[in-house]
């Protein structure tokens, strides 16, 4: 594997599905899992098998049908969770067990009423037990974002010794700043024995809107796996959005980080997940929102019509969007109106355009958006006929 390849670990079906109201049935999960495999993700986190019989059978079925990606099941550092996950993954071509425990002061004190040493012991036992079923074992240090770096380094070293192949450093509460999260990964890279033999994974939540920035900071400092979801769905404010981290790496080649993702499938995949989960994508969502490639102010429209690159850093075709949209509103200028009119059959002279534009503004002031039907009406009102 190239040292610059960042593995994409998709947790839409596990962390993403924890969103209230987004429950999927097995059939829907299978369709999404197949799509994720086609998209080129490296790991599909299929679920939390011990959590319910339904989740167990979804993970089992997903493990059977995924052809290329590793299929992963989540567990707590609990023997029965691990045994059940191993059973669910038995048909996977590349099975991974994802086990772990909270490592921050508040998790140790309030969740476990325990001590740092006991938490390490439980983690080590879980990794060793998982290792008796599968070769590929990922360990998560839950709430690593708020865990003291020195202790986190000790945890990581113990898990590597126990056989972990991937170390997940979750910012579970979305608390870290990008510099802080990047520095955490750098600290682990520099202070944990054996760290270069395992993959460090970023798992960031979006409580402060920093999940994407934190994941990229982690990758810059040496993490080689990013855990994310389609449309950034997930607990509370969500997880890192897959489409965002992938396109950031894509758009900034000097970072020298790359992924296996077929970016041309991003838009369709986003719509598929949104539809199956009944969760709309916010219009201004980066990369896949309805307005991500829509231009409505006159100044921007004029620029984009002359050359797309004036106001677009991504070619929409790169992410599977057919073309940029020029949305006609009262803020639009003549260039946008002429452009849209031409698309639907009206080649206007300069003089005609002046008249049409006046009538257009009368319409536009009364409507949020002027659509093609309105343009036909405008032409009718001032007796302009289609020229082509």
Choice between 15 and 143, CB closer to Zn ion: 15
- The 5-34 contact track toward Zn ion, x by CB under 5 A, reads ----------x-------------------
Per CB under 6 A, 170 contacts ligand KIV = yes
Per CB under 6 A, 240 contacts ligand KIV = no
Closest separation between CB of residue 230 and ligand KIV, Å?
Answer: 16
Dihedral class, residue 124 (left if φ above 0, else alpha if ψ from -120 to 50, else beta): alpha
Choice between 145 and 182, CB closer to Zn ion: 145
Closest separation between CB of residue 14 and Zn ion, Å?
Answer: 8
- Six token digits for residue 348: 């206007």
Choice between 140 and 181, CB closer to ligand KIV: 140
Closest separation between CB of residue 172 and Zn ion, Å?
Answer: 6
56 binds, among Zn ion, ligand KIV, none (CB under 5 to 8 A by kind): none
Residues 292 and 285 sit within 8 Å (Cβ to Cβ): yes
CB-nearest residue to Zn ion: 15
Residues 118-147 that bind ligand KIV (CB under 6 A): 140, 142
Give the integer Cα–Cα distance in Å for 258 and 322: 24
Region near ligand KIV per CB under 6 A, out of 153-161, 167-175, 208-216, 245-253: 167-175
- The 173-212 contact track toward ligand KIV, x by CB under 6 A, reads ------------------------------x-x-------
Which residue in the set 7, 103, 104, 172 belongs to the binding site for ligand KIV (CB under 6 A)? Answer: 172
Closest separation between CB of residue 385 and Zn ion, Å?
Answer: 60
Pick the closest to residue 260 from 240, 242, 278 (CA basis): 242
Alpha carbon dihedral 370, 376, 381, 382, in 10-degree steps, equals: 100
142 binds, among ligand KIV, Zn ion, none (CB under 5 to 8 A by kind): ligand KIV
First to last CA, the chain: 55
Residues 174 and 208 sit within 8 Å (Cβ to Cβ): yes
140 binds, among Zn ion, ligand KIV, none (CB under 5 to 8 A by kind): ligand KIV
224 binds, among ligand KIV, Zn ion, none (CB under 5 to 8 A by kind): none
Residues 61-100 that bind ligand KIV (CB under 6 A): none
Give the integer Cα–Cα distance in Å for 303 and 300: 5
58 binds, among ligand KIV, Zn ion, none (CB under 5 to 8 A by kind): none
Size of the site for Zn ion (CB under 5 A): 1
Give the integer Cα–Cα distance in Å for 306 and 204: 39
Count of beta carbons in the 10 Å neighbourhood of residue 26: 16
61 binds, among Zn ion, ligand KIV, none (CB under 5 to 8 A by kind): none
Residues 13-32 that bind ligand KIV (CB under 6 A): 15
Contacts with Zn ion by CB under 5 A lie at 15
For ligand KIV, the binding residues (CB under 6 A) are 15, 140, 142, 168, 170, 172, 203, 205
């Amino acid at each position: 594997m190239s040292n610059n390849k960042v593995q994409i670990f998709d947790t839409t079906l596990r962390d993403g599905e924890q969103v209230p109201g987004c429950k999927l049935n097995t059939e829907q999960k299978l369709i999404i899992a197949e799509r994720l495999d086609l998209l080129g993700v490296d790991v599909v986190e299929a679920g939390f098998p011990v959590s319910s019989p339904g989740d167990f059978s979804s993970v089992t079925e997903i493990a059977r049908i995924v052809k290329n990606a590793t299929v992963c099941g989540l567990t707590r550092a609990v023997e029965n969770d691990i045994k059940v996950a191993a059973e669910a993954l038995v048909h996977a071509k590349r099975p991974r067990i994802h086990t772990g425990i909270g490592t921050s002061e508040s998790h140790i004190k309030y969740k476990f009423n325990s001590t740092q040493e006991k938490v390490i012991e439980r983690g080590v036992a879980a990794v060793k037990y998982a290792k008796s079923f599968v070769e590929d074992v990922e360990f998560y240090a839950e709430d690593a974002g708020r865990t003291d770096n020195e202790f986190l380094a000790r945890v990581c070293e113990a898990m590597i010794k126990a056989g972990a192949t991937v170390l997940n450093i979750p910012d579970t509460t979305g608390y870290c700043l990008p510099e802080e999260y990047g520095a955490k990964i750098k600290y682990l890279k520099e202070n944990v024995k054996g760290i270069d033999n395992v993959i460090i994974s970023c798992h960031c939540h979006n409580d402060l809107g920093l999940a994407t920035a934190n994941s990229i900071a982690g990758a810059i400092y040496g993490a080689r796996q990013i855990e994310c979801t389609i449309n950034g769905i997930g607990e509370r404010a969500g997880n890192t959005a897959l489409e965002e981290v992938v396109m950031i790496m894509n758009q900034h080649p000097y970072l020298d980080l790359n992924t296996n993702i077929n970016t041309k499938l991003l838009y369709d995949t986003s719509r598929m997940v949104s539809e199956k989960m009944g969760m709309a994508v916010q219009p201004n969502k980066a990369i896949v929102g309805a307005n991500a490639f829509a231009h409505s102010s006159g100044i921007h429209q004029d620029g984009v019509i002359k050359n797309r690159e004036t106001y677009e850093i991504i070619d929409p075709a790169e992410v599977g969007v057919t073309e940029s949209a020029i949305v006609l509103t009262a803020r639009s200028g003549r260039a946008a109106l002429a452009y849209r009119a031409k698309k639907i059959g009206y080649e206007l002279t300069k003089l005609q355009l002046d008249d049409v534009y006046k009538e257009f503004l009368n319409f536009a002031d009364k409507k949020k958006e002027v659509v093609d039907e309105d343009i036909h009406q405008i032409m009718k009102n001032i007796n302009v006929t289609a020229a082509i």
